[in-house]
Every structure is written in structure tokens, then in C-alpha cells.
Amino acid sequence: MRDRPDDFDEDLLRPALTAWGIEAATLDYAPVGFGDFHWVASGRGGRRWFVTVADVRRQTYEGLRLAMDTAAALREEAGLPFVVAPLRAADGTTLRRLDRHRYAMSVFPYEGGTGGDFGDPRPAPERELIIDLLAELHTTPPPLSTPDRPPALAGRAGLEQALRPSREPWLGGPYSEPARELLGVHGTMLRRRLEEFDRLAGQPGEPVVTHGEPHPGNLLRDGERRLLVDWDTVGMAAPERDLWLVAGSEEDLARYAEATGRVPDPGAMALYRLRWALNDVAEFVEWFRSPHGRTPDAEQSWEALTGTLAGLS
């Protein structure tokens, strides 16, 4: 996130880091990603750590804890070298509360490499590397902590409520009324897309361990080495949950089938592609119905909402 959390006390971070045996000489906010908040902690010897603070109202504390434990197990027990997993605190935990209700923290090794952005194009050799990585992940026995990830839309109730005809204005901030008007224009299309989603979701595939969001923004590149970050959505689901974000050709799908013995299903690919778009719309609508300002993150969300709706039409 580019915007710092305005209701979060950063002074909580230094004492919390001592649970990992870290005495931070400096803490610098890192305006990267979307959803969580990040800092880079530096020790007096020059070692660095990547600190992530999550709002557990978006995903429950227990759900996030299971995801972090799963990522740690994939790295420590399954030995998957591309998993950038949270470090364990002295008591063995991967996630710690920073307050009673809202924020929790994980600590990660600071990895080198070049990151990307969500929509970055990937040439065929790059896709092959990621297909091979996903094939290894999908054929790994799931740790006991791995949560289920059904294809249901997390924000569906809120989206359906927002689509109901109403003359009541949205008063959350500068993008509220434009968002309400935009939904009015696209309401019929979105209802059709929700019906299409329900049809596709009726035939789930055999679940495997999936990352959930293996797009370029969650990948670090270091020569031929690839590292997957942001494991808060890890879970058991059909492999197409990952594949639709990576495969760009029939050759990619054939490479995956050869590596795993499993032929990707076109219907499941369509399901997860549609699910991603509808989840984005639901999340942005909730954002703009809630209190917000004219900030860089709000502007980015508005551009994403308009672009997603155009792509769905």
C-alpha cells in the first residue's frame, strides 16, 4: 500500500520484533503491494527483514495464521526453495497480534531480486519457469495446516446489496457517488456474470496446494531463480486457481500436464478468471462505500474498478 495506515501505531513494531530476536536499528515504510502494509527492519549489523502488518478484518486472524503456518511448512518441511515463508518467532509462531482486534504481524527474510507488477507481460521462457514452479507446488503433499479455498466470492453479499436499485447516495468519500453511478451502468452485466459464475462453480476440480495469486507482482526474479511471495491466500483448490494467471498458450498447459499428469480444465480456468474479476469489483465497491479520501491508493482502486468493469463487459 502507498498510504500508511492512519490508525496504526508504528511504535508497536519495535517491541513486537523482539519476539523474533530482532533489535531494529531502523524501520522504513515500504510502499509496495496492495492490501497489507510493509516495513523494512534493519539491525545494527546490517541484516534486514521484511515486516508485514495485516488487517485481520479482511481475513480472520485464524485464517491468516493457518496460511502463514502452511507457507512455513512448505519451505521447512517440504523443502520448496521458491517459497518466501514467514520466519518463526522464538515460540514457534508465524503470526502475532499487535492489538486486540485489527492488526497482526509476520516477519520474513529480506530477499534480493527484481519484483514486478500485476499486469506485466511474461514471455514464454518466463512462463515456463513459473509453470514448472507451480507443478512442483501442486504435486506437494499439503501440510496439515493448509486451509480450504472454495471458489465462493468473499464479498458477494456486499456486491449484491450495492446492485439493488436505490436512490440513497453513497457518502464514504470522493469516489463514492461515481462508483454508485458506475455500478448502475454495469448492473445488468454484473448480474449476468454472477449467474455465469454460479454455473461454472458447480464443477470444482480435485484440490491441490495452490498459491492463489502467482501474478508478476508476487514474484521476485534473480537470474534463473524465481521466488513466490505473499502466501496469505495459500490453500487447497483446483490447480486452475493458479494456472489462469500464468498460462498464456496451449504449450504452457501441455507443459503443466506433462509435469503433473493432470490436464487443465478450460471451464475451471474460466471460473477462476471470472472469480478474480468479480472479487476485485466487490472489494473496490466496499472500499468506495466506506470512508476514504482522495489518496494514491484510492486513485489506483478507482482505475482498477473502471478497468475491471470494462473487461467484464
What whole-number percentage of the chain has pLDDT above 90?
A: 73
In CATH terms, is domain 1-110 a member of 3.30.200.20? yes
The answer to whether 1-110 and 115-313 have equal CATH topology is no
Q: For residues 246 and 124, is the Cβ–Cβ distance under 8 A?
A: no
pLDDT of residue 160: 95
Per-residue pLDDT band for 3 (boundaries 50, 70, 90) equals low
Please determine, for residue 78, whether its predicted confidence score (pLDDT) is greater than 70.
yes
Q: What is the pLDDT of residues 178-230, one digit of tens each?
A: 999 999 999 999 999 999 999 999 876 789 999 999 999 999 988 888 999 99
pLDDT of residue 44: 83
Please determine, for residue 33, whether its predicted confidence score (pLDDT) is greater than 70.
no
What are the extents of the domains in the chain? 1-110, 115-313
Q: What is the pLDDT of residues 244-272, one digit of tens each?
A: 999 999 999 999 999 999 999 999 999 99
pLDDT of residue 266: 94
Whole-number average pLDDT of the chain: 92
List Cβ neighbours of 230 (8 Å cut-off, separation of 6 or more): 33, 213, 218
Residues 261, 269: Cα–Cα separation, whole Å: 17
The reported pTM is 0.92
What 3 state SS string does the chain have? Answer: CCCCCCCCCHHHHHHHHHHHCCCEEEEEEECCCCCCEEEEEEECCCCEEEEEEEECCCCCHHHHHHHHHHHHHHHHCCCCCCECCCCCCCCCCCCEECCCCCEEEEEEECCCCECCCCCCCCCHHHHHHHHHHHHHHHCCCCCCCCCECCCCCCCHHHHHHHHCCCCCCCCCCCCHHHHHHHHHHHHHHHHHHHHHHHHHCCCCCCCEEECCCCCHHHEEEECCEEEECCCCCCEEECCHHHHCCCCCCHHHHHHHHHHHCCCCCHHHHHHHHHHHHHHHHHHHHHHHHCCCCCCHHHHHHHHHHHHHHHHHC
User: Domain 115-313 class?
Assistant: alpha beta
C-alpha cell of residue 228 = 513466490
Q: What is the pLDDT of residues 55-74, one digit of tens each?
A: 887 778 999 999 999 999 99
